[in-house]
Structure 1
């Protein structure tokens, strides 16, 4: 039997009434402010989506089926439904991201215009997973996060559809914005921290749960919103902003969203199991089930609708939980569940709620868009990111300390093992072994170490790129520069420690040349490891490829066999090995400038001929190593760029 619910609104809650002799519960809540005031810099945005259909390319499985809806300025819209209902897919369609392997039909428009992936330039996205640099403080992170957004200089607006694809802030405008004094930037950050209640933790490190002590989960969630508000977006998306928070912190986050909506912004959020109080804070609820729209309307209307469908809310039961239960497939009774959901969807499509939504979609005029945000330029971005990366490296002393200790220990070990080698055949052989050992140590620890540093940063890079914060090349260059001292200084220390202990050629020119070779070898290993880390999704896969690659390069060094005696189809591969260039460079540097009457040219040439080395090849070795470094750094950037773009 259908049960109708009528309710009248009053200050402080909703009053229950008797309908068909059924007593419906009394639900009290805080009074929701409906007064909207458009703030400066906020352009009203209406987002519409019509007949959205999404299916997988391989299996053709339908994820969304003829889904339509609208979100207006000042509205806080909740996407709700059981797991697998299509909430995340719909949110991704609206933001035009994470659509890899999916086929999409239908239209998404912003103020009556289809702008595709450029929607990220006028919107913010508060993701469920907080991804930050854990060693930075809250204020430091906000100051660096959007270097071009921390000014109040207005930008050009978009008034015609043709301008949508052509509009770009000029580089001069970007540079002028970046010249805003430091006080202006600090004022903007202070304003946002005040707004979101982050002043108490402003100087606290963000941290990483379970690894680095930092701010609380609620503060981290508010920091996520703060990062998005730096650019003052008129449209804000959020993915389960209340999940994982206690009731108080969840209410705080929703109140922040409510205040943002009251300022004229449009908010669209996925909400999972809200309390009754939070449920009624939203202006519009969109329930999805089995990839279709089951309801669109206000929270109050949802209670009426499901009561009309024969599913009245029981006394003292949380309305959203009850509704989601009725829209879920029960494993113990799938047939009945599917039929119930199908009936609810059919009823919705014939009600005023569906018809009202259709009429609204047809009546949305084409109005101006807010200005698209613009990157401030390569050098400004790189400078900001380099500062962020450098702080992270400096505040991670364990990495620097362990690498330095490792190289000091290995330098002492190599020096002790090959202590003061004489100029005889045994001494020459041991010296060459020591030189090769230096190349190997500079390679393996560095190559595998850089891979472990990269994996945890890739989600942050992808998010910031797709949010329009930074270019990939700006991040890549800044990160490479921040790692430069970490993967350069330690190798030079190891060579210097072992150099005089072994008894190598003791002139300052030869010492500097050896250090140069060591630096280039370590950078070759760094760039190759970085390339593999950018190419493969996980560290384990990258290491699996790195082991045979580094082993092959080691075999081509010349120590294990004269490369001229290798088969012709293998000989050319030696010119791709930094082991070959590095080992030859150190051997040539050691034996071509020996100032000892016992050491004849014949003796020197005989030593070099064992490895197919030439006395005048030092500079060619330096060029070869430099070319390898350049090649792998460029290849690493290309691999990272392709990987990040494909992730959209």
Structure 2
């Protein structure tokens, strides 16, 4: 049954995968990973997920973690990587080359996740070039050479200029190409240790064989590979150097594929002829719905037999004899400005290549500008016209707020898994990502509001001196940025967009009530009056109203009428500078609060 793939180059679609590339054989520091007496329980209920699990993975070995659902495979992989341990209590030790390094293991390893998470609007080459800038401290020509060789090695040249896409939403590369792109990103930093979570799941047999062949050659180059494998074919099963079967949170077997067949035969479960060995073994290690008691007895018997065999004893001896040797160099952070520049380029491309969002925002603002301008067309300078003009100014503030705030809150829910993974891989600081993302959205959530104000300005008949027009645009930009920063803060604070929106609706409504349009704020109770200074509706509305009525090109319009109009809202004629400062302070506060919320959320995600 041992049918190890020997070919060093084989076809993938219309393109070949060159597993004999020089880059796959880059020299690496040998890594031995050991884990001893690992116990994991949930904090709340104390449910045992792993119980006294031990094992070892050596340089050049490709190790498969196998077992049925709930056996503990993912938990063990998370323990080894020191990730996703929220709500869990862990005992035992994990060592790399004889040293316990904790979460720093991310800085010397790669992790190919089961779920491919990318920026869908980027092409394969663009994505890899940005990843290379984040993962490699090298000049541009070296990064280009590295990317080209890895694309050639993994058969990605055919789709190099294709957008990655998003299954079901944006057409892009195939599932097999996406899986290979995941490996390509991790190989850029030439890790000595590579983890993979079900790398063959969701692929057809040929593509699964392609991925396993890539892993096989990576192991042959001296790297250590540990992967969760689900229902492999017999051919793929025998590609692995070591198989670890888990069941009920304990080790049921650890050894070579050939030894697993002999072991289960000795346990009274010989594999029938023409039956896939891993499927048969996993069936014997699973709890059958109707035969729970018999299943538990069978599994515990297999575990007890394993613990008394030479396989378990050999592993125990090896764990005690592993010497402490040097570690490979940690991945170095490229620095704030380099990583911010790379992330800004990635985010800007994503925004530019999302024409639907840009188009809809521009259309929306143009339509609303025309609508407000038509609704309040050329208001006369009488009391009815004054009231209508003030209403028009308020509606400009409202439109700049609601569409902006609710529009920007959708991005974080889909992007956070990618950002959290890259951050924990040591690729960048959270502040670098946050600054780059905010800057990428700045034009999109600035110019559209200014366009709406300009369109409606002369239609309403507002005072059109150059100074007043520019002051109105400044207020509009600051109001839209206030809504943008608040939306970003809520998106970073809450896990889902629906929860963020549910919280944003009453908050924005409260800010709107404090604008002054719905009541003179000086008449509010004392314990509520202070809240008006937290509302950008208040600062924005006052700024536009003061700017409009401070200078009127009409000799009959005196300061008396100006002050009378402003006094209805408790506004003052010289408050425009304070309104600008107030809006700027709100923008700064929410941007800083959003960063803190994102930082806490990402750090807790580990």
Contact 2:366/2:452 (8 A) holds in 1: yes
**C-alpha separation in 1, matches of 2:208 and 2:259:** 23
- The DSSP-based 3-state class of the residue aligned with 1:179 is coil
User: Alpha-carbon deviations, 1:522-545, whole Å to 9, x = none?
Assistant: 000000011001100011100000
**C-alpha separation in 2, matches of 1:16 and 1:214:** 20
Instruction: Name 1:20's counterpart in structure 2.
Output: 20
Say which is worse superposed, 275-284 or 461-470, in terms of deviation.
461-470
Matched, 1:458 2:408: no
Say which is worse superposed, 216-225 or 465-474, in terms of deviation.
465-474
User: Alpha-carbon deviations, 1:493-520, whole Å to 9, x = none?
Assistant: 0000000000101100000000000000
Contact 1:3/1:310 (8 A) holds in 2: no
**C-alpha deviation, 1:204, in angstroms:** 0.6
Contact 2:62/2:215 (8 A) holds in 1: yes
**C-alpha deviation, 1:595, in angstroms:** 2.4
- The DSSP-based 3-state class of the residue aligned with 1:267 is strand
**C-alpha separation in 1, matches of 2:488 and 2:107:** 30
Contact 1:4/1:308 (8 A) holds in 2: no
**C-alpha separation in 1, matches of 2:8 and 2:545:** 91
User: Alpha-carbon deviations, 1:170-216, whole Å to 9, x = none?
Assistant: xx999999784422211000011111111111111100001111000
User: Alpha-carbon deviations, 1:458-495, whole Å to 9, x = none?
Assistant: 11111111111121111111000000001000000000
**C-alpha deviation, 1:453, in angstroms:** 2.3
**C-alpha deviation, 1:10, in angstroms:** 23
Instruction: Name 2:39's counterpart in structure 1.
Output: 53
Cα distance change on mapping 1:334 and 1:409 into 2, 3 Å = same
Contact 1:562/1:610 (8 A) holds in 2: yes
User: Alpha-carbon deviations, 1:365-396, whole Å to 9, x = none?
Assistant: 00000001111111111100000011111111
- 1:37-436 equivalences in 2 (<5 Å): 39-143=25-129, 180-436=138-394
User: Alpha-carbon deviations, 1:138-183, whole Å to 9, x = none?
Assistant: 000000xxxxxxxxxxxxxxxxxxxxxxxxxxxx999999784422
**C-alpha deviation, 1:598, in angstroms:** 1.4
- The DSSP-based 3-state class of the residue aligned with 1:17 is strand
**C-alpha deviation, 1:455, in angstroms:** 1.6
Where structure 2 has 5 or more consecutive residues not aligned to the other structure, the ranges are: none
Instruction: Name 1:7's counterpart in structure 2.
Output: 7
**C-alpha deviation, 1:15, in angstroms:** 34
- The DSSP-based 3-state class of the residue aligned with 2:86 is coil
Contact 2:21/2:149 (8 A) holds in 1: no
Say which is worse superposed, 450-459 or 416-425, in terms of deviation.
450-459
**C-alpha deviation, 1:68, in angstroms:** 0.2
- The DSSP-based 3-state class of the residue aligned with 1:500 is helix
Contact 1:8/1:14 (8 A) holds in 2: no
TM-score relative to the length of structure 2 = 0.95
Cα distance change on mapping 1:225 and 1:3 into 2, 3 Å = closer
**C-alpha separation in 2, matches of 1:363 and 1:434:** 79
Cα distance change on mapping 1:349 and 1:13 into 2, 3 Å = farther
**C-alpha deviation, 1:311, in angstroms:** 0.2
Contact 2:9/2:17 (8 A) holds in 1: no
**C-alpha deviation, 1:41, in angstroms:** 3.9
**C-alpha deviation, 1:39, in angstroms:** 4.0
Cα distance change on mapping 1:53 and 1:9 into 2, 3 Å = farther
**C-alpha deviation, 1:40, in angstroms:** 3.8
Cα distance change on mapping 1:350 and 1:343 into 2, 3 Å = same
- The DSSP-based 3-state class of the residue aligned with 1:201 is coil
Cα distance change on mapping 1:197 and 1:377 into 2, 3 Å = same
Say which is worse superposed, 289-298 or 594-603, in terms of deviation.
594-603
**C-alpha deviation, 1:571, in angstroms:** 0.1
Cα distance change on mapping 1:226 and 1:173 into 2, 3 Å = closer
Contact 1:2/1:310 (8 A) holds in 2: no
**C-alpha separation in 2, matches of 1:283 and 1:472:** 38
User: Alpha-carbon deviations, 1:227-270, whole Å to 9, x = none?
Assistant: 00111000000000000000000000000000100010000000
User: Alpha-carbon deviations, 1:413-459, whole Å to 9, x = none?
Assistant: 00000001111101100000000000000000000000112221111
- The DSSP-based 3-state class of the residue aligned with 1:200 is coil
**C-alpha separation in 2, matches of 1:195 and 1:91:** 27
Cα distance change on mapping 1:545 and 1:38 into 2, 3 Å = closer
**C-alpha separation in 2, matches of 1:18 and 1:597:** 83
CA RMSD of superposed structures (Å): 6.1
- The DSSP-based 3-state class of the residue aligned with 1:58 is coil
Contact 1:288/1:295 (8 A) holds in 2: yes
**C-alpha separation in 2, matches of 1:431 and 1:192:** 63
Contact 2:166/2:172 (8 A) holds in 1: yes
Cα distance change on mapping 1:279 and 1:216 into 2, 3 Å = same
Cα distance change on mapping 1:313 and 1:12 into 2, 3 Å = farther
**C-alpha separation in 2, matches of 1:55 and 1:529:** 37
**C-alpha separation in 1, matches of 2:247 and 2:349:** 46
Cα distance change on mapping 1:265 and 1:344 into 2, 3 Å = same
User: Alpha-carbon deviations, 1:96-138, whole Å to 9, x = none?
Assistant: 0100000000000000000000000000000000000001000
Cα distance change on mapping 1:378 and 1:550 into 2, 3 Å = same
Cα distance change on mapping 1:471 and 1:584 into 2, 3 Å = same
**C-alpha separation in 1, matches of 2:450 and 2:322:** 66
User: Alpha-carbon deviations, 1:53-77, whole Å to 9, x = none?
Assistant: 0000110000000000000000000
**C-alpha separation in 1, matches of 2:95 and 2:115:** 27
TM-score relative to the length of structure 1 = 0.89
**C-alpha deviation, 1:6, in angstroms:** 24
Contact 2:31/2:192 (8 A) holds in 1: yes
